[in-house]
Amino acid sequence: MKKLKLVSFVIFCISLAASLIFWFTQVRKGDRIGPVITMDQQELTVGLNATDEDFLQGVKAVDENDGDVTDSLVVESVSNFLGGGRRLVVYAAVDRHNNVSRANRIVQYEGYTSPKFYLKEPLCFESGGASKNEELLKNLTVKDKIDGDLSNQIKILTNSVVDLYTPGEYPVKLQVSNSAGDTVSFQATIQVYDATDRSEIPFIHLKKYLVYTKKGDKLDAASYISKVCMGGDYDSDVPGDIGKSKVKIKDEVDYDTPGSYEITYSVKSGKSRTGTVRLIVIVTE
């Protein structure tokens, strides 16, 4: 009886070993190598409205066993912008045995620039005149080459509360991102002045309230003064009645270092209160 059991066990072991050897041999013989993906150029230039079809230009996939499998190619992912209008595109292809291969290349968007801010009026507000962020940003817009108007996506970032009922100056950071992850921002000061003092405050009107300049290009700050008038706020058409030469300019922009800065203009006429306005300057590469 014991001898019969031993023989049965030996037969079982031999069968198991044979099965394993057969399986391993078949696996070794099987197709486990994915297609080879090739591209006619390692860096591709596309338009601003490029689609997956554009990304796939000049890309082919060939499998050792299945031949041309270019029809299986897909754009698996597109990265956020890496800088300079460049993104990384990842491609994938599959053969009939479900072996997947991947490859990537840099795609350059022709004519791309980061989202750009525009400010119609200064970030100066009468106390109690604005109560929501939307009202604070009503004169600030953002235009983007990819998504168009991003104005309603601007975020106000601050470490303190902007109290629109208390006159003062409040530092903030304004930021926005497009759908491709390109984030732009600038530092600014929100000014809140006492509504009861409006008639006694000289308002300095500028030709622009936010400007871009390239690294190393210094601005002529005085040339941005449009007029200076007593009272009237920034929405009025009151003619200038104070000489521009009375305006003091404090330009602390580091024109050799990219970033955001402010040029401060201030003026006092007679016994009036001091009027202040800021020009936001964004220095780019």
Structural domain tally of the chain? Answer: 2
Residue 264 lies in a domain: yes
Can you tell me the distance from the alpha carbon of 251 to that of 214, in angstroms, rounded to the nearest whole number? 16
Name 114's bridge partners: none
CB 89 within 8 A of CB 55: yes
* pLDDT tens series, the chain, 285 aa: 555 455 455 565 666 665 555 445 444 445 679 999 999 999 999 999 999 999 999 999 999 999 999 999 999 999 999 988 999 999 999 999 999 999 999 999 999 999 999 999 999 998 876 656 677 899 999 999 999 999 999 999 987 788 888 899 999 999 999 999 999 999 999 999 888 888 888 999 999 999 999 999 999 999 999 999 987 778 777 777 889 999 999 999 999 999 999 999 999 977 778 999 999 999 999
Which among 109, 132, 161 is the end of a domain? 109
Q: Which of 115, 271, 124, 150 is nearest to 206 (CA)?
A: 124
Can you tell me the distance from the alpha carbon of 97 to that of 32, in angstroms, rounded to the nearest whole number? 8
Residues 267 and 185 in one domain: yes
Residues 70 and 134 in one domain: no
Residues 269 and 185 in one domain: yes
Domain containing residue 102: CATH number: 2.60.40.10
